[in-house]
Structure 1
């Protein structure tokens, strides 16, 4: 006990000289140094000099929060997989024991997962039981129209494990999920049979399309070519808000089958069609459109491929038409933002030459391709798949 009395209070007094004189966890004044320990004051100051020179900002807590990121990700994905949010949406507030029984888990692990989800803001606890938070109820319940769980599962299944090989990708400058010389470079040739990627990306595209449709005036356009449009989320959103607009989703054959199903479900089959093609392999894009959209497409490829794609778009556009590039752009100075910077690293892990580019780079490439009146358009609301637009005119 005497050793404890010497070390702990002395640390407390040294700490209190540079931080508020309240105990961090209990809010009480820190204890005085016990009688008989005063002679250690000078030794104390030397012992903790380097430590107490730090201010509260200079602690490893920010690093610890970064390190905890994967734990939060796995807690979220486990809850989605096990159907926690679907269960609570269906039955309302439940105790930990009731959740465990319905999820076919033992009470101990169920309670631990529920506690973690509550701490992450995914669940609410009222003193008796657990319920979905408003955010979880809106986005993580499968029956909801804005269900985001498919993207959660996509990240877990197709991104989480490959990111474990990030060091290899950095050292070898290559993707770690497939060989660069392999023919199959993208989960597209079986899109209608293995739709996880497209369902997950549709979760992101729907929100991004909502933001884009409100950030730029599309009312003057009549014919949209949605290049690499996936399941047609952008075309559906834009046509819903622009009654005179018609659209064609241009994507790989198996993707177009998914497009047709979603467009039919939206009731817009009379205004939105799907045309199979390959932006990389086709010599020309379908012509006769006054608006071309490239949303979250170009970051998958190297610079030379991007420039070729932009030139094809210029050729396909009607005179006076516009090309809209929607992306998570890296800042011109290369310092962020976080979402775009991490997505760019994701392109290192998953593609042979892709990365997230800056607005300045797109402006230079559009100019070189022959576009004019190039401008930047910010998004008026945050979106998960883009942080702005770069637009060029023919």
Structure 2
């Protein structure tokens, strides 16, 4: 799938059906290699095949085509493939507390690298715009004037929430290298007057107080387990009575199913 994303296969198939030869010519890749890729994509259910012609599945058309309404392609292509999968080589060391000094053991250390921070943030932004639109539809923010987005990245969620709620302004707290790109993204969206940034570490920096809502998206899954209760307490402390506390993350049922 990652190779197909880098070759723009799903975008090339958007609204159309093509055989392996046509895809290979457009991608500039030998046909036999494309045929192997398309066979795998078919078994994964990402494309369908009729004769020798391939067509995007509904899911691929919705989420893997560049520019689609819920486009996740850059998030998967850049962040998951280029950054997250290599980190799997450190998994044993993480579990056994046996990381080498050169291993990346925290987001803070990782985001100190400006190039890595930009690549991560560009892909995360692409992957946040769709969920941000969904959150704006699911939650009533009409009574919220100020939202604190802790580790809010480059503002994907904030942009969608502000677009849907003219009454809302957002403060984003994230690492300085992330904030630098975030200001660009927010300016492009025309929301610099309503979305502001604080450069810092959510576990160490001072948070704004007296806010109407706190959002934490993928923060709990990116910090040490013993930091989570303190983050929750901090959110409670800075939120006005009756405010909203929103956690968007990977979760299982209480019985671990």
TM interval, shorter chain, is 0.7 to 0.9
Gaps of 5+ in 1: 1-75, 337-394
Aligned to 2:18: 94
> Aligned-pair distance for 1:185?
4.2
Aligned pairs, number: 256
Q: Is the 8 A contact 2:48 2:55 kept in 1?
A: yes
1:208 pairs with 2:131: yes
One of 183, 188, 196 as aligned partner of 2:119? 196
- Closer/same/farther in 2, CA of residues 193 and 174 from structure 1, 3 Å limit: closer
One of 159, 162, 173 as aligned partner of 2:87? 162
Aligned to 1:117: 41
In the alignment, the residues of structure 2 paired with residue 164 and residue 279 of structure 1 have an alpha-carbon distance, to the nearest angstrom, of: 27
> Aligned-pair distance for 1:138?
2.9
- Closer/same/farther in 2, CA of residues 286 and 86 from structure 1, 3 Å limit: same
What is the correspondence of 1:62-141 to structure 2 with a 5 Å cutoff? 76-89=1-14, 92-141=16-65
One of 232, 240, 245 as aligned partner of 1:310? 232
SS across alignment from 1:195? helix
In the alignment, the residues of structure 1 paired with residue 167 and residue 117 of structure 2 have an alpha-carbon distance, to the nearest angstrom, of: 34
- Closer/same/farther in 2, CA of residues 227 and 192 from structure 1, 3 Å limit: farther
Instruction: Please tell me the root mean square deviation across aligned C-alpha atoms, in Å.
Output: 2.9
> Aligned-pair distance for 1:309?
2.5
Q: Is the 8 A contact 2:155 2:186 kept in 1?
A: yes
> Aligned-pair distance for 1:208?
2.9
1:333 pairs with 2:251: no
In the alignment, the residues of structure 2 paired with residue 228 and residue 184 of structure 1 have an alpha-carbon distance, to the nearest angstrom, of: 11
Q: Using CA pairs below 8 Å that are at least 6 residues apart, which structure has the higher relative contact order? A: 2
> Aligned-pair distance for 1:224?
0.7
Aligned to 2:245: 323
CA distances 1:292-341 after superposition (whole Å, capped 9, x unpaired):
1112112222343223333333333334433322222232222x3xxxxx
